[in-house]
Amino acid sequence: MRYYQCSEYPIEFVLSENIDKHFASHNHVGHYVISVVMQETVAVCLENKEAVCCRGDAFIIPPYAVHSVRQGKDARLLSMCMGTAFVEKNDLETAEEVFRKLLGDAVTQGIFGREQREKLLNFVRTVYCLHDNGRKKMDADIKGLTDKMTRHPEQELSIETLAADIFVSKYYLIRKFRNSVGMTPHQFCIQNRIRKSQRMLDEEMTIGRIAAEMGFYDQSHFDRAFQKIVGISPSEYVRSKKQIGQST
């Protein structure tokens, strides 16, 4: 896997190849993901609907949409991650201008080809339509808890504490949370710890320090959780990162 990040905007490209991996059910809280199959096939399950995507097919994963992805070693999948903060701050015309330049730089850099550039650019407009009309509605109590857990995933918040926050039993909370978010509070917490860990790695913090600050038992525990969610180890993630516009 290779990561290409934009220093100016919350936009990232991920090229998944030479990886035989099943990414179990998860969601992305703070961004949209537009994916294009570049080679072979990729199996996707989005909100309990399964599909096999072939070369040239594209799909969008909105924020909080529960999904899983199964990718064989011979498949190549290109994903463009667009932060919701970018969508909320910039209108469609501005976004298209930004992406024309950024996607052009990526093609020049050899990250992907013109076919993928046009496909991704066309889907930017679809993202804006989804953001305006199709945002997932969530119970206000659960939304409050997810916001709290997303802001401070390193905090130890027991089921009992979370349930007390919204005045329900812990058993009712687990059912309600899973129905709204698609996973248990514990799974959601670990997922967000790993997402924050990625940002900390982007800031060149050491793996051992991140593991300790994010509440993992030790670095080995952190490595296993990171690999399960991201698909590669923390050290491989650090080595795989490049900036759009930098020499590859």
Same domain, 18 and 116: yes
- Tell me the per-residue pLDDT of 126-180, one tens digit each, with 9 for 90 and over: 999 888 665 566 788 898 999 889 888 988 888 999 999 999 999 999 999 988 8
Residue 248 lies in a domain: no
pLDDT at 116: 93
pLDDT at 135: 56
pLDDT at 134: 54
Distance between CA atoms of 166 and 172, rounded to whole angstroms?
11
Same domain, 9 and 125: yes
In this predicted structure, the answer to whether residue 102 has a pLDDT above a threshold of 70 is yes
Same domain, 228 and 144: yes
Same domain, 10 and 75: yes
Same domain, 70 and 118: yes
Distance between CA atoms of 163 and 142, rounded to whole angstroms?
10
Domain total of the chain: 2
Residue 214 lies in a domain: yes
Computed over every residue of the chain, the mean pLDDT equals 89
Same domain, 151 and 99: no
Distance between CA atoms of 135 and 148, rounded to whole angstroms?
19
- Tell me the per-residue pLDDT of 214-242, one tens digit each, with 9 for 90 and over: 989 889 999 999 998 888 899 999 988 88
Q: Out of 133, 159, 191, pick the residue that ends a domain.
A: 133
Distance between CA atoms of 219 and 145, rounded to whole angstroms?
27
- Looking up residue 6, the CATH number of its domain turns out to be 2.60.120.10
Same domain, 11 and 118: yes
Cβ 174 vs Cβ 185: under 8 Å: yes
Same domain, 154 and 123: no
pTM: 0.85
Give the domain extent around 201: 140-242
Same domain, 98 and 150: no
- Looking up residue 203, the CATH number of its domain turns out to be 1.10.10.60
Query: Tokens 């100016």 sit at which residue?
Result: 8
- Tell me the per-residue pLDDT of 189-207, one tens digit each, with 9 for 90 and over: 999 999 999 989 988 889 9
Same domain, 145 and 227: yes
Same domain, 196 and 79: no
Q: Out of 83, 115, 133, pick the residue that ends a domain.
A: 133
pLDDT at 241: 85
pLDDT at 136: 60
In this predicted structure, the answer to whether residue 211 has a pLDDT above a threshold of 90 is yes
Same domain, 90 and 117: yes
Distance between CA atoms of 88 and 1, rounded to whole angstroms?
29
- Helix or strand or coil: residue 25? strand
- Which string of b and e fits 103-132 if b means at least 16 CB within 10 Å? beebeebebbeeebbebbbebbeebbebbe
Residue 247 lies in a domain: no
Distance between CA atoms of 155 and 108, rounded to whole angstroms?
43
Task: For residue 30, count other CB atoms closer than 10 A to its CB.
Answer: 15
